Structure 1
Amino acid sequence: MRADRLVAALLFLQARGLVTAAELAAELEVSERTARRDLEALTASGVPVYAQRGRGGGWRLVGGARTDLTGLTSPEVQALFLAAGSSGASPELRSALRKLLRAVPEPLRPQAEAASRARIVDELDRSGAAMTAVGPHRTVLERAVLDGVRVRLGYARPGDEPRERVVDPLGLVLKAGHWYMVAGTADGLRSFRLGRVTSAEPTEEPVHRPAGFDLAAAWRSLAARLEDRLLAATVTAHADQDALPVLQRLFGGRLSIGRLLADGRREIEAAGPSLEVLAAQLAGLGPQVEVVGPPRARAHLARLGEALMANYGTAREAAVR
């Protein structure tokens, strides 16, 4: 059941007091069967909704048309606001969350507020990328965000050994099929891809949350810095037509395909964090791609070729003999 529909159903019940499945279906623009399943799901989750049988019956929130939703436990409140807060950022849903928050018992409101801002989906992401593996630590980190406690985090960047540090988990972000944690560190705000987390151990220390912290704004700043690093260097090359699909998968939006050359190849430009990284990535395509500039990228490819010959040249000669 979609979180925004669950919120809408609760608000409709609170406003009307007694509703039929048909009335709720018309309000939510779903089938009567779906509306009935939603009402039953609310009851099963602990929301104080019950069915009044017979003529003139329907579904009612315990306590009448005005209720504080006291049937919700703290974990249920957090689960509801966590799901609804991350399911989208439409003005209608934000308005519904604000209204629902007023119906939550006062002692549970801090948890509800924390959950509603704990994670987001990057609105700028239109890739439709499939969800990737996030590792075994997402539940622990999500709990740390909700509880507001620091975490001793093990993290390994590609090619590096895992490194431990204590961080302040502030929120989770879904971007292009990957989950990231935004956290405070000794070096300021940083993002950590959950698939690279090697360990996560909550501490008893409270997080330091910067004054006026906004997860969406923080993520935009971090994402812009990451994008700058990814576009720090560019190389120009001539590529066989058959290599273009592989290059597009390898570089995505960092690849520009230019004019058709007289020999049937295409002129391309690829961007990356450094010339060395770009050269190493393009080297894997062998003679299908010829890097033409800048000279430093060609020089690095030549060094790679010499190193490969040193490692494998003797083995090739032995195999020929």
Structure 2
Amino acid sequence: MRADRLVATLLFLQTRTRVTVAEVAAELEVSPRTARRDLEALSTAGIPVYSQRGRGGGWSLVGGARTDLTGLTAEEIRALFLLAGPSSTTPELRTALRKLVRALPAPLRAGAEAASRAGLTDGTNWSRADVTATGPHLDALRRAVVDGIQVRLGYAGPGKPVGVRTVHPLGLVTKAGHDYLVAETERGLRTFRLSRVASVQATGEPVVRPPGFDLPTVWRSFAARLEERLYAATVRARAEPGAMAILERLFDGRLHVGPMLPDGWTEIRVDGPTPEVVATQLAGLGARVEVLDPPEARERLARLAVELAGVYGPPGSF
């Protein structure tokens, strides 16, 4: 443990012109007495560490001496911190990354710290889809986020043609196999699904980050608003026993199973953005599910039945 502390102390010295015993103690979470003892041990071991007494004094490395303990290239460092940035929940990993930042030469440290803030993985699933949908522009957007460069983004929203806008890339989030860009726009913070990005062109202009921007906090806010819309309506229905396994796979956490009815069927409730959307999703189970309410869901199924009969004809017409 002491060897680990001594290395951490050395790395901390490399990031500062001069440090005090109190600062070292706070950074390494040890007592001031232990911090002073470790600093003296480094000096005794021949490392060019010296102390200066008096006002404005402290401990420094002679001549700003540095030790690069990583041997990593700039691209390797950026890739590592992108993968393990703010989504790192393991204390050991956070500690290791903090030590690695201290070990990096100054020209590489800013890029590593930017990369550590650039990515996030959200483990909750909005659907059962496990496909990966990134699009071909992930690398370009990752560079823009890390380098802090504005881009002209070609983007096609659902049911809309491609439009071009200038955005300030702030972070990338992976959720349920899909990648999203979080960016500041002229209309405020927005998210863009990468599979809908048509083009990316760097402008060379620096990104302007909103005051206090924190990627995990902003994403939680976006996700909460979307989940509210996903669960805005509830449809009540009854399902035959053979349909329950399909319903569980289809709706996952949006399915609520009620009591078994006298005829052996089961009462269920399904959440979704609107009654019509839920009814459309249930339509594929045919007569194995009977929607009870609300009326809008039953009306949607009735319209679907008429439309399908018009296309395919009544049963047995083939």
TM-score, normalised to structure 1's length? Answer: 0.70
Specify the alignment match of 1:270 in structure 2. Answer: 270
Structure 2's unaligned 5+ residue stretches are: 11-64
Structure 1's unaligned 5+ residue stretches are: 1-10, 18-64
Q: What is the SS of the residue equivalent to 1:182? A: strand
Q: What is the SS of the residue equivalent to 1:279? A: helix
Q: What is the SS of the residue equivalent to 1:132? A: coil
Alpha-carbon distance between aligned partners in 2 of 1:248 and 1:194, rounded to the nearest angstrom: 29
> How do 1:101-140 residues align onto structure 2 when only pairs under 5 Å count?
101-122=101-122, 130=130, 132-140=132-140
Report deviation, 1:123: 5.9
Report deviation, 1:285: 1.6
> How do 1:60-139 residues align onto structure 2 when only pairs under 5 Å count?
67-69=67-69, 71-85=71-85, 88-122=88-122, 130=130, 132-139=132-139
Report deviation, 1:218: 0.8
> How do 1:1-321 residues align onto structure 2 when only pairs under 5 Å count?
67-69=67-69, 71-85=71-85, 88-122=88-122, 130=130, 132-313=132-313, 319=317
Instruction: Verify the 8 A CA contact 1:179 1:194 in the aligned structure 2.
Output: yes
Report deviation, 1:117: 1.1
Report deviation, 1:103: 2.1
Report deviation, 1:146: 1.0
Report deviation, 1:203: 2.9
- State the Cα deviation string for residues 117-159 of structure 1 (Å, max 9, x = none): 111223667x998562422222222122112122333444555
Indicate the structure (1 or 2) with the bigger Cα radius of gyration: 2
Alpha-carbon distance between aligned partners in 1 of 2:228 and 2:250, rounded to the nearest angstrom: 18
Report deviation, 1:224: 0.5
Alpha-carbon distance between aligned partners in 2 of 1:287 and 1:162, rounded to the nearest angstrom: 41
Q: What is the SS of the residue equivalent to 1:167? A: strand
Identity of aligned residues (%): 58
Instruction: Verify the 8 A CA contact 1:135 1:196 in the aligned structure 2.
Output: yes
Instruction: Verify the 8 A CA contact 1:240 1:264 in the aligned structure 2.
Output: yes
Q: How many residues align?
A: 261
* 1:205 maps to amino acid: E
Alpha-carbon distance between aligned partners in 1 of 2:131 and 2:76, rounded to the nearest angstrom: 25
Go from structure 1 to structure 2 and tell me whether the alpha carbon gap of 1:242 and 1:200 turns closer, same or farther (over 3 Å shift): farther
CA RMSD of aligned residues (A): 3.3
Instruction: Verify the 8 A CA contact 1:171 1:182 in the aligned structure 2.
Output: yes
* 1:309 maps to amino acid: A
Go from structure 1 to structure 2 and tell me whether the alpha carbon gap of 1:186 and 1:237 turns closer, same or farther (over 3 Å shift): farther
Instruction: Verify the 8 A CA contact 2:70 2:100 in the aligned structure 1.
Output: no
Alpha-carbon distance between aligned partners in 1 of 2:66 and 2:280, rounded to the nearest angstrom: 65
